[in-house]
Structure 1
């Protein structure tokens, strides 16, 4: 199964409000294993007017299928319909009790009557829950609150009706299923309570987040609202504790239900997998709140609230010239942040910084091989470790030797061109005096955003004269974008929050804080660019590429991955991996005398693949002869090599290797996304079954052998 789907309008997918609203979907499920002659009874209760097929058809477009004849699999990437899961779970429980009760004749008739009453109430609750969720998606806060209140009241009626069947709690066999229904209702109650409390916590920030409804911070400038938000964030901590307690109740109640008591599927609909999925989602909801609490607690300090002004060193990474952390370190800036307002202090070309760096460090051999004009190791190349923190520790150690540069900084922030493009896409074209107007519209000269081509023209095109301050535009551009963001209408704020979070998760923006508490919070939400294994997965893969003398060709390069995985045998799995790189555009005239813009030329790529420690390389193809080697580093075995990719061509790397692996039932792998790259399609063939995921951020992929 793949990771959660990408956000649609407002990315609150990890916030308590969205968690509570969406988490309730995952409490769906079940039907016991029954003989063939009971299937019609199950369907008569489970489906309106006894028409199982019509009900199933309404949800067919929301699930993945292996083929036309396969049962419908639950799809965790689907946008949830609030409360639908627990409603159907309760209906399935009723179907079981009807079957068991039918043995006793009159008792069965009574049970069936109650079941029909409950079914009608449950369907009403489902409609109300869907209405609440739709209102939330539409950012209608009062509508969502009213919808949840209605669901809460309806749950009271459902519980009262369900209690009419309490005698089943004393009957062997039937008691287990009856009690599962109680646990489902308890989980529903707790989930709705968490949703109500979450919306109450969001209400003061309604205006800022783009919700309709009156919030606390509706007056003043954007800077005023940001200041008030940062000053009040700490006040919602007790509310988070209450929401967390409710989510823990949901998790505990669902964990009490034994999935093995239910069949794999009934009537073509998966049952047991839905129970397991609900349990996993509820556990994830509680964990998400736990992870985000430190961020909420530390954000005011990170953003310079309460007069604690912060100073950050900002590195601009050119992802069109890809390097391990996300791009060539092309320029830098020093900024102040106070009460959420960013003020640039200075900005400059990274080459100007290197001119003042007097330490002569031998250049790493792989860089010296291709960067033939370089004699020593420069600051601009000190991001060869894909782990952002490790690279920045090396960078900072040497930056501190540069005279005349600010040293009293609180952290390092790296952003790439995707961040600039996304900001302009949301805020609209931005005008920089002396440089022109920049937009996110496609420029046919490069088939890329106009802002990218225009910056390349200003910064990269060779001239017959020495051009001073080639990258001086980046500072004014950052200032103009910030000013436009502060003056943006509130309708754009949700989009700004959404793209900011999306860019952080995709490692287009990365953070390294010197304060250990701030750094721990950043690492909790995967904002620190740390390259670490996932304790829940035995397999791991990170593909790290570095452009060493290939112009800006990564602007036109994409790649895809195909993995073939065998079942574990003798404590290892055998894997065959193919990585296909494609350059989609013709080459440019890169002769300096021509004076033309050189974006696309032969890519000289230093490729490293991080695998679990103990992995053994069996064979490799596609690399330059003699360039392949393996090393161990920390928790990883690294396979590295070099290859070339010309314009309008492709290159294919093929590897076969083994990975230590003990889980005989499930295949789990963490796919670690390199900063600065576009989403990567990854296809898995695990023991004969094919699935595909899109690696647009770190992915934990799980499937059965």
Structure 2
């Protein structure tokens, strides 16, 4: 081997980082050495860093470019979202205005929403032109198009609804059924289109990343409205027509389902509108009732048989309504023609008063002016004077008033229709307006609007307490109009979860302020107080021992009512408190007794009771307290609820929770959560 060549060991492996430079041979061939070093030299530090820097620069440049592009797109996306959300907010406000029948404001909001959407298109025109290449922009473009359709459809629907609100009540009351059905059809078509547009927007918005909780709930609501309109259209357009009874409950004589049903109007509906209204006295069908039914035991104090006049016996309005319709259908004036009723509406004097407050006073043929202030007492005076004179028409006033109100309603301007619409929701909440239909589909609609008059449903998992006083004036004249009622309710939650409650009902007979004798009669009522099922009385006071003899021998020719019998079979006298009895009704324990309050005096009902609950007290446990009243009962209310020792209520931060109201709501639920003190 020539001596000028490097050693084989030096050539056999590649140099590694940290290796010393190879040793040159002792006999030097400069050219070979130069070639050897050129081929095998280890790069110096400066050269190595230069390559890394070049590669790092390329990577950083790429990242900066990508981040910058993504940031720019993200910012544009955020701006687009902001503008679309602005349009959505305008749209939501428009929907809320439309629900309140403020359709002029709704139209302005929809117009603003359209302007906001147009701003989106103008600001980001270049983005929309790229939607073919960037998927998320395609979704934005889709959301924009769907939103445009929504605004356009909503605006058109608002215009149709505006026209409909102004014309439909007049058309319905005035007998123009073809126009009613046409209006309903147009609204249904608009809602259907709006629902489809909303679904398309929701899908595109989700793909783009827009949070759209509103669309989901709106879709459910639109579907519900669409279904309601389907049901209403089908019912109104039925070829056989419909017949509904409107009862005027006299709350000066309270009954469990509201007031005494002494008068009613027979309403025929044909081809989508009212075709006929006939005012009637309840005595007309009752005189020729073909069935002889044993009355509920308390009613036997005033009546020999159960008829339509006393059928308003049940706390839950649908039961009272169905019983009333069934009794009237068995009357000769309807059974001879095989007439059947499709529904019943009950209104209190508060509705009539509110209506006249909006419509204005009505002048009768005798020159008397009936207004919102005097209608209740004038109606009662007309009845009493007619009965005293043994007139063939003891209720002439109502027979003259009904057509006058119908005429006024059929020519009502739109602003007054809006006022009545607002009042209707309040009437339903207060049970001043209660509606019952035999068609279960229509009852679902009524339930949605809160006007069914059904009582609160207590399910097996209910954790809390319940209280509902119900009065039936049986022989107390019209004294309920003169009664001042106060309800005081105290409840203590025990460590085991049970409730110890103390209820006081104070009734003051203020009839001395009235000159008419029918208001000055002693208040005489059979009272039922509904409590949670299985409640145990600890104290009871304030009853009146009324003794009476049934007015008929019910073993001869009378039939028993199944619903009443099922309740009366559960009656149990309370041995510890004579004069009080308990029974099972509506999956509750009802305490029954008589009460009498003479003119100018005060009567106090005292009921202390305990009820068990499925769950003991603990941190985070919620308890519900439900208080209800019957339609037409006016009372002030004070509620005090106390937490167990060592707990406070999350809602108040205290161990006590209080409510003080000048007017007891028809239905009130208080839910309180325990937390450790």
Calculate the TM-score normalised by the size of structure 2: 0.64
For residues 158 and 700 of structure 1, what CA distance do their matches in structure 2 show?
A: 50
Residue aligning to 1:500: 424
Residue aligning to 1:489: 413
Residue 235 of structure 1, CA deviation: 2.0
* Structure 2 counterparts to residues 334-345 of structure 1, below 5 A: 334-338=266-270, 341-345=273-277
Which is worse superposed, 466-475 or 420-429?
466-475
Higher relative contact order (CA 8 A, sep 6+): 1
Q: 2:344 aligns with which of 391, 408, 412?
A: 412
Report SS of the residue matched to 1:488. coil
Residue 134 of structure 1, CA deviation: 10
Q: 2:326 aligns with which of 391, 397, 414?
A: 397
* Structure 2 counterparts to residues 41-52 of structure 1, below 5 A: none
Residue 205 of structure 1, CA deviation: 0.9
Residue 146 of structure 1, CA deviation: 3.4
Residue aligning to 2:364: 432
Preserved contact between residue 458 and residue 587 of structure 2 (Cα < 8 Å): no
Preserved contact between residue 266 and residue 277 of structure 2 (Cα < 8 Å): yes
Answering whether residue 468 of structure 2 is matched by residue 468 of structure 1, we say: no
Residue 321 of structure 1, CA deviation: 0.9
Residue aligning to 1:268: none
Structure 2 runs not aligned, ≥5 long: 1-74, 125-145, 546-577, 644-655
Report SS of the residue matched to 1:458. helix
For residues 649 and 247 of structure 1, what CA distance do their matches in structure 2 show?
A: 67
Residue aligning to 2:58: none
Residue 197 of structure 1, CA deviation: 6.9
**Pairs aligned (count):** 519
Preserved contact between residue 382 and residue 391 of structure 1 (Cα < 8 Å): yes
CA offsets, 1:570-600, max 9 Å, x none? 24222222233344441656xxxxxx55223
Residue 676 of structure 1, CA deviation: 2.4
Preserved contact between residue 335 and residue 345 of structure 1 (Cα < 8 Å): yes
For residues 143 and 361 of structure 1, what CA distance do their matches in structure 2 show?
A: 60
Residues 222 and 158 from structure 1, CA distance in 2 versus in 1: closer, same or farther, beyond 3 angstroms? farther
For residues 348 and 316 of structure 2, what CA distance do their matches in structure 1 show?
A: 16
Residue aligning to 1:52: none
* Structure 2 counterparts to residues 575-586 of structure 1, below 5 A: 575-586=501-512
Preserved contact between residue 290 and residue 332 of structure 2 (Cα < 8 Å): no
Residues 662 and 193 from structure 1, CA distance in 2 versus in 1: closer, same or farther, beyond 3 angstroms? farther
Residue 199 of structure 1, CA deviation: 6.1
Answering whether residue 541 of structure 2 is matched by residue 621 of structure 1, we say: yes
For residues 691 and 320 of structure 1, what CA distance do their matches in structure 2 show?
A: 27
Residue aligning to 1:172: none
For residues 324 and 221 of structure 1, what CA distance do their matches in structure 2 show?
A: 31
CA RMSD of aligned residues (A): 4.7
Residue 292 of structure 1, CA deviation: 5.5
CA offsets, 1:282-334, max 9 Å, x none? 999888767655433322344x2376632123332212211111111102332
Residues 229 and 654 from structure 1, CA distance in 2 versus in 1: closer, same or farther, beyond 3 angstroms? farther
Answering whether residue 645 of structure 2 is matched by residue 676 of structure 1, we say: no
Residue 149 of structure 1, CA deviation: 4.6
Residue aligning to 2:611: 658
For residues 481 and 685 of structure 1, what CA distance do their matches in structure 2 show?
A: 46
Preserved contact between residue 603 and residue 646 of structure 1 (Cα < 8 Å): yes
Report SS of the residue matched to 1:529. coil
Preserved contact between residue 170 and residue 411 of structure 2 (Cα < 8 Å): no
CA offsets, 1:419-475, max 9 Å, x none? 2222111111123335733111xxxxxxxx211122122111377632111124323
Answering whether residue 441 of structure 2 is matched by residue 517 of structure 1, we say: yes
Residue 532 of structure 1, CA deviation: 4.2
Residues 598 and 648 from structure 1, CA distance in 2 versus in 1: closer, same or farther, beyond 3 angstroms? same
For residues 348 and 681 of structure 1, what CA distance do their matches in structure 2 show?
A: 37
For residues 148 and 593 of structure 2, what CA distance do their matches in structure 1 show?
A: 53
Answering whether residue 152 of structure 2 is matched by residue 232 of structure 1, we say: no
Residues 132 and 433 from structure 1, CA distance in 2 versus in 1: closer, same or farther, beyond 3 angstroms? same
For residues 438 and 509 of structure 1, what CA distance do their matches in structure 2 show?
A: 21
Residue 633 of structure 1, CA deviation: 2.4
For residues 96 and 266 of structure 2, what CA distance do their matches in structure 1 show?
A: 43
For residues 592 and 150 of structure 2, what CA distance do their matches in structure 1 show?
A: 48
For residues 301 and 145 of structure 1, what CA distance do their matches in structure 2 show?
A: 31
Preserved contact between residue 292 and residue 524 of structure 1 (Cα < 8 Å): no
* Structure 2 counterparts to residues 140-539 of structure 1, below 5 A: 140-149=105-114, 201-209=157-165, 226-239=180-193, 241=195, 294-302=227-235, 304-305=236-237, 309-338=241-270, 341-369=273-301, 371=302, 374-405=303-334, 407-434=339-366, 436-440=368-372, 449-461=373-385, 465-533=389-457, 538-539=463-464
Q: 1:574 aligns with which of 500, 503, 508?
A: 500
Answering whether residue 671 of structure 2 is matched by residue 702 of structure 1, we say: yes
Report SS of the residue matched to 1:319. strand
Q: 2:487 aligns with which of 561, 570, 585?
A: 561
Report SS of the residue matched to 2:401. helix
Residues 301 and 645 from structure 1, CA distance in 2 versus in 1: closer, same or farther, beyond 3 angstroms? farther
Structure 1 runs not aligned, ≥5 long: 1-112, 160-189, 258-278, 441-448, 590-595
Calculate the TM-score normalised by the size of structure 1: 0.62
For residues 582 and 191 of structure 1, what CA distance do their matches in structure 2 show?
A: 61
Preserved contact between residue 541 and residue 671 of structure 1 (Cα < 8 Å): yes
Residue 484 of structure 1, CA deviation: 0.6
Which is worse superposed, 677-686 or 409-418?
677-686
Residues 155 and 538 from structure 1, CA distance in 2 versus in 1: closer, same or farther, beyond 3 angstroms? farther
Preserved contact between residue 538 and residue 612 of structure 1 (Cα < 8 Å): no
* Structure 2 counterparts to residues 64-83 of structure 1, below 5 A: none
Residue 612 of structure 1, CA deviation: 2.5
Report SS of the residue matched to 1:327. strand
Residue 488 of structure 1, CA deviation: 1.2
For residues 200 and 522 of structure 2, what CA distance do their matches in structure 1 show?
A: 57
CA offsets, 1:213-263, max 9 Å, x none? xx99999997655443233343245257459869999xx9xxxx9xxxxxx
CA offsets, 1:633-689, max 9 Å, x none? 242111222222344444332322224252762222343342223475453434212
Report SS of the residue matched to 1:234. helix
* Structure 2 counterparts to residues 625-644 of structure 1, below 5 A: 626-644=578-596
Preserved contact between residue 680 and residue 696 of structure 1 (Cα < 8 Å): no
Residue aligning to 1:6: none
Report SS of the residue matched to 1:586. helix
* Bigger Rg over Cα: 2
Residue 704 of structure 1, CA deviation: 2.5
